[in-house]
Amino acid sequence: MFGLSIGMAVACLLVAYVGATVQASIGIGLGMIASPVLAMADPAFIPVAIILVVVPLTVTVAWIDRTHIEKRQVGFALLGRLPGVIAGALVVAALSDQVLAVMIAVSVLIAVAASLTGRLFSPTDRALMVAGMASGFAATTTGVGGPPMALTYQNSDPATMRSTISAFFSFGAVMSLAALAMAGEIGLRQWQLSALLLPGVILGIITARLVKDYLNPTVVRPAVLVICTVAAVALLVETL
Reported confidence tier of residue 155, pLDDT bands at 50, 70, 90: confident
- Which segment of 61-75, 80-94, 214-228 scores lowest on mean pLDDT? 214-228
Number of H helices, E strands in the chain: 10, 0
Task: Note the pLDDT tens digit of each residue in 121-153.
Answer: 788 999 999 999 989 998 998 888 888 888 888
Q: Torsions phi, psi of 216, nearest 5?
A: -95, 110
236 vs 50, higher pLDDT: 50
For the chain, state the CA radius of gyration. Answer: 16
Q: Residue 18: is its pLDDT beyond 90? A: yes
Residue 121: Cβ within 10 Å count = 16
Q: Residue 119: is its pLDDT beyond 80? A: no
pTM (predicted TM-score): 0.89
The per-residue pLDDT for 156 is 81
Reported confidence tier of residue 1, pLDDT bands at 50, 70, 90: low
154 vs 86, higher pLDDT: 86
Question: What is the mean predicted confidence (pLDDT) over 15-32?
Answer: 91
DSSP string, 176-216: HHHHHHHTT---HHHHHHHHHHHHHHHHHHHHHHHHTTT--
36 vs 101, higher pLDDT: 36
Task: Note the pLDDT tens digit of each residue in 30-86.
Answer: 988 898 899 889 999 989 999 999 999 999 999 999 999 999 999 999 999 999 999
Task: Note the pLDDT tens digit of each residue in 158-210.
Answer: 889 899 999 999 999 999 999 999 999 999 999 999 999 999 999 999 999 99
Helix residue ranges per DSSP H, 68-124? 71-94, 97-115
Q: Show contacts of 216-222: CB within 8 Å, 24+ apart.
A: 217/26, 220/22, 220/25, 220/26, 221/115
Assess contact for 146 and 168: CB atoms under 8 A: no
Per domain, the residue ranges of the chain are: 6-239
